[in-house]
């Protein structure tokens, strides 16, 4: 694999989805907006520390970089345990929806393989401005020659080692192909808070994601959008190969 990183300029907008159940939970425990604000502050203060370089950012941006608690499950560019943070996002909201849908399906299948399908879940999609001169693109030469290593569905070893190399070279962002998006859109892995061009989201959308016997349906009312994934969409991942779709 090439080790000459040749950092380049990257600037644009990326998208990420967050589950809105936390916001709903805070509201259910408070009677007024003032109480909601106080409770949200208490919850935020109880979490682990945000690094100084991320302290000016919206909590959604800073959350992946919090220190203290171990990262529970390894991801493509981050090992489990007490490891450096990574902010994952997608270049389009459609790719972000595909990524979120896959992991929602995987989590439910792993945790409740015999249970009925859950009710629809609401997510907030938010847009983030990114700008850095320290980016690398795994979809472009010379890295594209090793695409099989970067896009393996379950083995993240090559990507995690590459992230180590990038951190040592002060790389702030990695652009790579989404393995979960059937349209092969691009994702971003931000290794540093310096890659954020704005401290708060630029835009927000509400998406409702439903899993049932027919697949996954994602719906946004404003702007109106519909995205569907059938049963076969994510079966290239062996963890979902034996998924039972027909449930009582």
Location of structure tokens 């991320």? 54
In a domain, residue 191? The reply is: yes
Q: Dig out the tokens for 50 from the structure.
A: 């945000």
In a domain, residue 245? The reply is: no
Among 39-43, 162-166, 206-210, 219-223, the minimum mean pLDDT is found in 39-43
Q: What is the mean pLDDT of the chain?
A: 89
Q: Dig out the tokens for 215 from the structure.
A: 């697949």
Contact 49, 66 (CB under 8 A): yes
Q: Give the per-residue pLDDT at 39.
A: 46
Helix (H) or strand (E) holding 89: strand 87-90
> Between vectors from CA 95 to CA 100 and to CA 113, what angle results, nearest 5°?
30
Burial grade of 239 (CB within 10 A; 0-12, 13-18, 19 or more): middle
Alpha-carbon distance of 150 to 76, in angstroms, equals 9
Give the number of domains in the chain. 1
| Full-model pTM | 0.89
> What is the domain extent for residue 64?
8-240
> Between vectors from CA 66 to CA 137 and to CA 22, what angle results, nearest 5°?
100
Q: Dig out the tokens for 234 from the structure.
A: 């994510």
Over residues 204-213, mean pLDDT: 96
Q: Are strands 87-90 and 186-190 parallel, antiparallel or unpaired?
A: antiparallel
In a domain, residue 134? The reply is: yes
In a domain, residue 248? The reply is: no
Residue 62, pLDDT > 50, answer yes
The string of pLDDT tens digits covering residues 84-128 is: 999 999 999 999 999 999 999 998 887 788 889 989 999 999 999
Alpha-carbon distance of 247 to 214, in angstroms, equals 11
Q: How confident is the model at residue 47 (pLDDT cuts 50, 70, 90)?
A: low
């Amino acid at each position: 694999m090439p080790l000459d990183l040749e950092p380049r300029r990257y600037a644009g907008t990326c998208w990420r989805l967050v589950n809105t159940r936390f916001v709903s939970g805070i509201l259910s425990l408070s009677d007024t907006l003032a109480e909601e604000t106080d409770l949200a502050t208490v919850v935020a203060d109880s979490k682990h520390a945000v690094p100084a370089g991320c302290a000016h950012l919206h909590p959604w941006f800073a959350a992946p970089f919090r220190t203290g608690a171990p990262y529970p499950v390894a991801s493509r560019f981050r090992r489990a345990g007490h490891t450096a943070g990574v902010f994952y996002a997608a270049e389009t909201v459609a790719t972000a929806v595909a990524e979120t849908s896959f992991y929602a399906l995987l989590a439910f299948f792993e945790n409740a393989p015999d249970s009925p399908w859950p009710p629809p879940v609401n997510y907030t999609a938010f847009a983030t401005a990114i700008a850095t001169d320290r980016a690398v693109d795994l979809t472009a030469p010379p890295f594209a020659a090793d695409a099989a290593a970067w896009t393996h569905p379950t083995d993240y070893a090559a990507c995690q080692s590459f992230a180590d190399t990038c951190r040592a070279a002060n790389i702030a962002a990695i652009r790579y192909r989404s393995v979960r998006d059937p349209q092969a859109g691009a994702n971003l892995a931000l290794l540093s808070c310096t890659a954020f061009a704005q401290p708060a989201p630029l835009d927000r959308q509400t998406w409702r994601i439903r899993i049932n016997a027919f697949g996954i349906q994602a719906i946004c009312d404003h702007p109106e959008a519909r995205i569907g994934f059938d049963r076969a969409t994510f079966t290239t991942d062996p963890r979902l190969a034996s998924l039972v779709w027909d449930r009582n």
